[in-house]
Amino acid sequence: MISIYKLKPAFQKLLTPVLIKLHAKGVTANQITWWSIVLSLFIGIAFAFAAQYPVLFLALPIGLLVRMALNALDGMMARVYNQQSAKGEVLNELGDIVSDIFIFFPLVFFEQSALHLIIVFMCLSIINEFSGLLGKVISGERRYDGPMGKSDRAFLMALYGVLSFFAVDISIYSVWIFSVVIVLLIVSTLTRVSKALQSV
């Protein structure tokens, strides 16, 4: 299925010079993961205040691009320089979920007409990541299958930020948009679980 995640190898290749420089400065994979979590907190705070200061909507596209780079770099650092650890894996997985909550939560202030769907969207995002982890538990391989994975959700929020910055009102479509997103999340979750079971 189509997903922005499929662009990850090319994105990682672009980040290789940055990886080399960070390693030369003694930066570790876990430090990068922490940077990503803290950045996500600041993105969420900026997003929450964007109604008063519209320029802060740009924290979504800019911040999420940086977060995506950090998410790629921590994994690359761990693999390339043999920094993989149980602590790092726990930090990475929990960090992704916490970071998503930081970034998604301010939607409740902006999308009152679709508030119930926003809550379902956040819950299903967590379940979607958990279903990917189940793949590792069941078959030893983390699953990233299906649409509306972490990268796709980041793109959605980045686009939301850009449209909001330019004062494009999508509130009349919010129910439909998030209904589709929820369906895609369900498809993604079921696909991940199914693929995990098939690989046993």
Per-residue pLDDT of the chain (200 residues; tens, 9 = 90+): 556 767 778 888 899 999 999 999 999 999 999 999 999 999 999 999 999 999 999 999 999 999 999 999 999 999 999 999 999 999 999 999 999 999 999 999 999 999 999 999 999 999 999 999 998 888 888 998 888 999 999 999 999 999 999 999 998 999 999 999 999 999 999 999 999 898 87
* Domain of residue 51, residue span: 4-198
Q: What is the pLDDT of residue 116?
A: 96
Give me the number of domains the chain comprises: 1
Q: At what angle do helices 59-80 and 8-24 cross, to 10 degrees?
A: 70
* pTM, to two decimals: 0.92
Burial profile 29-60: b = 16 or more Cβ within 10 angstroms, e = fewer: bbebbebbbebbeebbebbbebeeeeebbbbb
Q: What is the pLDDT of residue 2?
A: 57
CA distances from 61 to 2, 17, 75, 156 (A): 21, 23, 22, 9
CB 69 within 8 A of CB 130: no
The CATH number that applies at residue 145 is 1.20.120.1760
CB 50 within 8 A of CB 33: no
